[in-house]
Amino acid sequence: MKAKRYFTVRPDLPGALSALDGLAQNLRWSWDRPTQDLFASIEPDHWDEWRHDPRRVLAEVTPSRLQNLAEDHQFLQRLGDVKEDLERYLSAPRWYQALSQTPDRARTAEQDRTAALEHTQIAYFSPEFGISEALPQYSGGLGVLAGDHLKSASDLGVPLVGIGLFYRHGYFRQSLSVDGWQQERFPNLDPYALALELCAEHRVELDMAGERLVAQIWRAEVGRVTLYLLDTDLDENPDHLKGITDRLYGGDMEHRLRQEMLLGIGGVRALDEVGEPTSVFHTNEGHAGFLGLERIRVLMERDGLGFDDALHAVRAGAVFTTHTPVPAGIDQFPRDLMERYFGGWAHECGVSMDRLMELGHRPGEDADASFNMAVMGMRLASLRNGVSDLHGEVSRQMFADLWPGIPESETPISHITNGVHGPTWVSREIDTILVDSIGPDWATRPIDGWGEVSDIADTTLWAARSAARERMVEVIRNRLRASAITAGKSPSEVEWIDTAFDPDALTICFARRMATYKRAALLLSQPDRLRALLWDSERPIQFIFAGKAHPADDEGKELIRQLVTFAQDPAVRGRIAFVEDYDMALARSLVQGADVWLNTPIRPMEASGTSGMKSVLNGGLHCSILDGWWSECFVAGSDSPIGIANGWGISSAMGLDDHRRIELEANSLYELLETKLVPEFHDRDNAGIPHRWMTRVKESMRTIGGFVGAHRMVRDYVEHLYLPAARSAENLSAHNWGGARDLADYARRLDESWHRVHVDSVNTDEAVGDLGSSREVQAVVCLGDLDESDVEVQLLTGPVGQSGEITRVTQISMTPGGMVDDDHHRYGAHAQLDSAGRMGVTVRVVPRHRLITNAVDFGNVAWAT
């Protein structure tokens, strides 16, 4: 019979063990090895089966085992140590707490900074969070990044909370049919059995197109950071709304819109409800973007702001991170759906539906065009970023049209390259080596703090690498065996798996979401070359693939089928495999064991990518198309002080048709494998150590190790985005939102008057000048009804290229020099002649106001023509 209702019964821990409960409840165990070891030692044989979940251990352990442990002095001693360590971790000051002691140059800036530090509270909104395989609320890179962000924020003491949804079925579990077609299972998760606690006193309510929706709030402790997850699975909700939080990225467009409303609007209400006063709202990708609309509504209703005032106030404290370089990857909602769900909002805020739609439209788009979440994200944030250097550039291209008249290079979108949380991903052996070499604080070291790794002994490093590879081979065999048996194979049919894969072979892994642009099957495009590599018994090489395709993505599933089919051939099957059900646990094994981490995306579609970073921290080498993070981190041998590159770059044939492109890029990959990777890995001394390979590994760790850490990433977010946003939000809210009203008034004046602003003339002596001297430039500008204090007149200078455009622009502010007549003002400045050759100058007028963070952000600019 099927149960009608269920509940979870928590075990009765003997008094001596009561601390276990608190330890299991704080997800810090997911990156603290002593805590993991402690729980693993309770029932070591089940640790893997129970997905490394302390809560599960406590739920399943037998009372007699607990009784034994309660009398085991050694265990109790360890328990005490681990508990004390957690307490210290939660209370001692960390990096952020030391920030306010850093003196700023200007006194006012320092006061500003200290005030911002004290009052800042950041809320990080994300549709998925990958903290541990035991809390499966993620589908791939975006979620794992969010998890790593929270963990690093916790390690650094950053005052941040996470906001997301609790999906009853999480993301799916993957298995394969005999012919290699992906099967999806959606297990039912019981939140009471996970490291979650219900905020029983608090609920949020939302209007969903005229129906009332209620959501409850779960909280998870991630070290020092709290994560709130909203859940609509409540009897009082009508059935069709109950399921809003059923699955990650499931359902149709309307379902998706409801999920995003819950995340954005419900998230803001939840923060208020549980008492988390927030000054900075960070949206991890567009899905939570509706939070901006909710905040506008609240400011209007609660604080009596006008719509435009509220818009400015909301933007000031908002940070938007875009993650996709592909327009098709952005959520868009048709107007009729928006009318049904947001008609009430427009009415409450006293604006027309057209005005609302405009927030999600590009300039010149039809009022009926669909509503673009990324465009809204850009418009409702004052600070925006992409997730790698290259992706920043691509994003400035993609969204340049939102700031007409502004050169693409000045589009106000910056970048902060993604990172990974070292302690989560690094193997035990490598951790020991890094502690010995760099110090116990290796994960939080500054980027140039990894120099010592060059001195690690090759034998030590090789032993660590080999141990992790061997463990990975064991994990792969177990997984392959389990899948084969589940698929109905007999024991004799799975015997070959016992010796499949070689713990000493060059092991290359490719594991990530099976999205088509990642081209998992590029390697299969030249099957004969692949077989030749796999059949080489002198210099063994092996490949492991893993990853889930989105349930609706048949092309992605087809990639998996191709890989599985190729790997089923008995002539290669012990050397190449597709391993089912990629999750954080499998990811850990693979990034720790792989010698080479492979990535073959279509450039520039990989916004960043992060799994290669995890491999690098573990002493793996990255071999990838120069896309995402790799495009900025790869150092070629010719640029390296020791003449050895820190990995490999696969050539990218951008601009060619697909067919040619695949051929050229696969050629480049095969050439690297055949002539570089395989020979170098198998070039050994008498003791079997590949010294050149080890030197390359150390070069990779030395040059990249400090940069790829999520601690670096979070520090960058704090310094470049969170604190500036907090300061600017504080300035706007001062004097009962006087700042916001000021800024909105100023924006209105610009709107009314800007059409009259122009540069009349630019004059300078055009004779040859001497390097090192300066040249006076004069301009006359018309400001119409605006004053000199309303604008900045900028002189832009630099060497000119072939078509007369200024390259390497230097920008200085020009000084007013009196009036020509009522509207026309004289300005002057001196350009420094600091490089020889042709030099060009031009002049432009941009807005100026003490509360604007970025002059071009308003989109008003008048150029000399």
Ligand X SMILES: *Cc1c(COP(=O)(O)O)cnc(C)c1O
Binding footprint of ligand X on the chain (CB under 6 A): 140-141, 144, 512, 582-584, 587, 609-612, 614
Q: How far is the CB of 443 from ligand X (least distance, A)?
A: 16
Q: How far is the CB of 864 from ligand X (least distance, A)?
A: 45
Please say which residue, 475 or 572, places its beta carbon nearer to ligand X. Answer: 475
Please say which residue, 581 or 665, places its beta carbon nearer to ligand X. Answer: 581
Please say which residue, 329 or 449, places its beta carbon nearer to ligand X. Answer: 329
Q: How far is the CB of 584 from ligand X (least distance, A)?
A: 5
Q: Who's near 755: CB < 8 A, 6+ residues apart?
A: 784
Q: Who's near 812: CB < 8 A, 6+ residues apart?
A: 794, 795, 797, 829, 831
Please say which residue, 29 or 138, places its beta carbon nearer to ligand X. Answer: 138
The beta strand positions in 274-349, using DSSP E, are 280-284, 318-321, 332-333
Q: How far is the CB of 582 from ligand X (least distance, A)?
A: 6
Please say which residue, 144 or 732, places its beta carbon nearer to ligand X. Answer: 144
Sign, Cα dihedral of 530, 534, 538, 541: positive
Name the pairing type of β-strands 122-125 and 280-284.
parallel
- The whole-angstrom separation of Cα 854 and Cα 89 is 38
Joined together, the tokens standing for residue 36 give 């993991």
Q: How far is the CB of 133 from ligand X (least distance, A)?
A: 8
Residue from 600, 628, 598, 629 nearest 615 by CA: 598
Q: Which amino acid is at 860?
A: N
Contact 809, 795 (CB under 8 A): no
- Three-class DSSP category at 137: strand
Q: Where are the alpha helices (DSSP H) in 235-282?
A: 239-242, 253-261, 267-274
Phi, psi for residue 801 in degrees, rounded to 5? -85, -170
Q: Which residue has the tokens 């402690």?
A: 38
Phi, psi for residue 638 in degrees, rounded to 5? -70, -20
- Host H or E run for residue 529: helix 527-534
Q: How far is the CB of 370 from ligand X (least distance, A)?
A: 28
Q: How far is the CB of 226 from ligand X (least distance, A)?
A: 23
Q: Which residue has the tokens 């990857």?
A: 329
Please say which residue, 615 or 733, places its beta carbon nearer to ligand X. Answer: 615
Sign, Cα dihedral of 258, 251, 246, 587: negative
Please say which residue, 145 or 473, places its beta carbon nearer to ligand X. Answer: 145
b/e code 182-217 from CB counts within 10 Å (16+ = b) = bebebeebebbbbbbeebeebbbebebbeeebbbbb
Q: How far is the CB of 424 from ligand X (least distance, A)?
A: 9
Please report how the helices 723-753 and 307-316 are oriented relative to each other, as an axis angle in degrees rounded to 10: 140
Please say which residue, 171 or 399, places its beta carbon nearer to ligand X. Answer: 171
**Is the omega angle on the peptide bond into residue 604 within 30 degrees of 0, that is, cis?**
yes
Please say which residue, 145 or 456, places its beta carbon nearer to ligand X. Answer: 145
Q: How far is the CB of 614 from ligand X (least distance, A)?
A: 6
Q: How far is the CB of 629 from ligand X (least distance, A)?
A: 9
Q: How far is the CB of 420 from ligand X (least distance, A)?
A: 7
Please say which residue, 613 or 814, places its beta carbon nearer to ligand X. Answer: 613
Phi, psi for residue 103 in degrees, rounded to 5? -75, 140
Please say which residue, 712 or 727, places its beta carbon nearer to ligand X. Answer: 712
Q: How far is the CB of 204 from ligand X (least distance, A)?
A: 30
Contact 785, 802 (CB under 8 A): no
Please say which residue, 159 or 556, places its beta carbon nearer to ligand X. Answer: 556
